[in-house]
Structure 1
Amino acid sequence: MLIADGWYSLATYFRTGGPVMVPLLLVSLTMWLLIAERALVLRRLSVHTFSGPAALKCIHEKQLPESQDGGAVGVLILCFLDRCSGDPNLDRNILDELVLSLNRSLTKYLPLIGVLAAIAPLLGLLGTVTGMMSTFDVMSLFGTGDAKGMAGGISEALVTTQTGLIVAIPGLYMKNFLERRAQALRRQLTVTGFYLRRHLQEAPC
């Protein structure tokens, strides 16, 4: 019974918001799917950490420890072992390319999440405009005597504005949170990459 009442209330809420609620719903679903994907990926890459000497040891042994098969640096090591040539100069270039590629992959979808979060309040504003237009249409036909018709347009304006902000605020927060996680991993990869680059000349893989 409670579930049915909840669905009815939600359906009523969306009907009140008018046609703009459909793109708002699509924006929200897309944004949160991307947020969930990025959160899972960044969490997996943050599981294990390697110091520079530990990473260099793994390269010389040509494998990761069995207990540590994940993490951003672990991915860097595995990719490097798959492509290393034994030539120190070429290997340094390979390492630089891998660090840049992995750093770019960490921020994948984050700009799109920010765009979707910014679009939501604009869609809410569009709903505000359409709602007020409906209200003025009722007023032009019936004056101020049709309170129910006027209330429908005002409700549409307020509901869409509210929904746009509800979608945008947590979306922007999560985008900034994920960016901080990605930046921390990028710093870790960059520092480890510099360490490995410096020592590959002395002890090639």
Structure 2
Amino acid sequence: MLELVKAGGWPMIPLLLLSALALALIVERGWTLRRSRVMPAKLGDEVRTWAARGNLDPAHIDSLRETSPLGTLLAAVLDMRNRSREVMRERVEDVGRHLVHRMERYLNTLGTIAAAGPLLGLFGTVVGMIQMFLGILDYGIGDVNQLAGGIGKALVCTATGMIVAIPALIAHRWFRGRIAEYIVDMEHEAIALMDVVEQRAQRPAPQVA
């Protein structure tokens, strides 16, 4: 492995740095975008129970907001519980945009690595081929086996660029799809909570004897 890195020459340095960065971003996003962290189990049912019973003090809502992205979205609904449904929906959309931006953090960098990896690999190959042909101009063709070995070494950078880019591209697409799935599920939970809040607001006030 070390011999292949040496064969690629100095263009292998940025490729190795990109591979380390891509690995770090994949691990970080994978840990951050766990379902248990984004959408804790039973949280939506619990919040709807609170709303139905009227247990909605400001401290309770602030605590909900800090639990997870889903908690933040449901807290936004509860903040607007005394407003119209249209106002609640607008608030959910605003908060949802911020949550998407937060969950997509570093994904642009990961996509850039996926696009730049093959280009850097091709650049390293071109540099290696130029060096090889300059050697031919100075010393002649010489041994054909040595010439073939030089071409093979030059192609190491191309292979490395693909090895870096393919996992980064797969992870980028997977995280994008995961976030889109979360957004749909969180929107469903927010609509269900709005229904509960609206039903409670429409209940007749208890008669006082």
TM-score relative to the length of structure 1: 0.76
Could you say which residue in structure 1 is the equivalent of 2:82? 87
Contact in 1 for aligned 2:74/2:190 (Cα 8 Å): no
Which stretches in structure 1 are left out of the alignment for 5+ residues?
Answer: 1-8
Cα deviation code 1:87-113 (max 9, x no counterpart): 324655433322222133222222221
User: What count of residue pairs does the alignment treat as equivalent?
Assistant: 190
What's the C-alpha RMSD, in Å, of the aligned pairs?
3.0
Which stretches in structure 2 are left out of the alignment for 5+ residues?
Answer: 202-209
Moved more, 193-202 or 28-37: 193-202
Could you say which residue in structure 1 is the equivalent of 2:142? 145
Which one-letter code corresponds to 2:31 in the other structure?
Answer: L
Tell me the distance in 1 between the aligned counterparts of 2:170 and 2:22. Answer: 12
Q: Does 1:61 align with 2:55?
A: yes
Contact in 1 for aligned 2:74/2:193 (Cα 8 Å): no
Q: Does 1:45 align with 2:37?
A: yes
Give the greater-gyration-radius structure (CA): 2
SS in structure 2 at match of 1:144: coil
Tell me the distance in 2 between the aligned counterparts of 1:92 and 1:180. Answer: 24
Tell me the distance in 1 between the aligned counterparts of 2:174 and 2:67. Answer: 22
SS in structure 1 at match of 2:70: helix
Tell me the distance in 2 between the aligned counterparts of 1:38 and 1:79. Answer: 25
Specify which of 167, 183, 186 is matched with residue 186 of structure 1: 183
Which one-letter code corresponds to 1:126 in the other structure?
Answer: F
TM-score relative to the length of structure 2: 0.75
Could you say which residue in structure 1 is the equivalent of 2:11? 20
Percentage of matched positions with identical amino acids: 31
Shift in Å at residue 18 of structure 1?
A: 0.8
Contact in 2 for aligned 1:17/1:155 (Cα 8 Å): no
Could you say which residue in structure 1 is the equivalent of 2:127? 130
